[in-house]
Amino acid sequence: MTKMNINFCGVEFKNPIVTASGTFGFGMEYSEFAPLEEYGGFGAKGLTRTPRAGNPPPRIAETASGILNSVGLQNPGVEFFAENIMPILSEYDTNVIANMSGNTIEEYCEMAEILSETDTAIIEMNISCPNVKHGGMAFGTDAKVVNRLTREVKRYCKKPLVVKLSPNVTSIAEIAKAAEDGGADGLSLINTLLGMKIDIHTKRPLLKNNTGGLSGPAVKPVAIRMVHDVYAATNLPIIGMGGVMTGEDVIEFMLAGASLVALGTSLFAKPDLVKSVKADIQQYMERYNIKDITELIGAAQMW
């Protein structure tokens, strides 16, 4: 028998497969395609301090090997989630990773405090958000700001805190170290890459917001490299994501250093993908006589 379970930040996951926030709603939408118990855990849709309508449409554009999105964090707000959604999710035999996004350090701290009182297993902090008190620059692009934000939020967070890193930086390893030094329990990466698509007939961007986040198979090589860089630079466990389509992709992320791996954009095309991904992993482990899946974490050997 092969051992598939992973201990991540002190939380037991029955397997390393989770979902990326923003691609899985609040889980219940996908349960008719595959039981939520198939996953080790799933990332719930990103939450903000108050309800948010999101950006005006069009806000999704397909690309040759992925999608651009500028949904704009449409969500019912953290309090509605805590009071009405999380009680339902807690009935499923899987871990819930709550994702939060804020415009100020104070908002992040308030959300961490609220989510800490729920049955959420892990709190994921999206730092690709604009810091409205400092000219709108994303929190995640400044190492000093990341360190301070993480340090402050940890004071209010009673659950393991995972910082979700933006790839739109010069050195993701530097940002990762800043989060680690600030007290983060884990890291997740990568978030989407900033991109644009222009309609050559109307001569306008396809997204009303002009730019959006690129996800899907096109970003996987970038994500693998960044996971490897962060694994080498820190001692924190990693949730890897970016273009995962198969069990082989999951294994590649784990070899680069990820402990958990998230399915994302691929679920829009194949909502029951988790089943074939688990089968792929099982087959790989049997082929190479791997008894414990943790043997794969960071096992890639560089030339």
What residues are labeled active site?
129
Secondary structure (H, E, C), 55-71: CCCCCEEEECCEEEECC
Q: State the CB neighbour count (10 A cutoff) for residue 252.
A: 21
Question: CA 84 to CA 186: how far, in whole Å?
Answer: 27
- The b/e string for 128-157 (b: 16+ C-beta within 10 A; e otherwise) is bbebeeeeeebbbbbbebbbebbbbbbebb
- Cis amide linkage into residue 58, ω under 30° from 0: yes
Distance CA 30, CA 36 (A): 8
Q: Classify 20 as helix, strand or coil.
A: coil
Q: Are 24 and 40 in contact (CB under 8 A)?
A: no
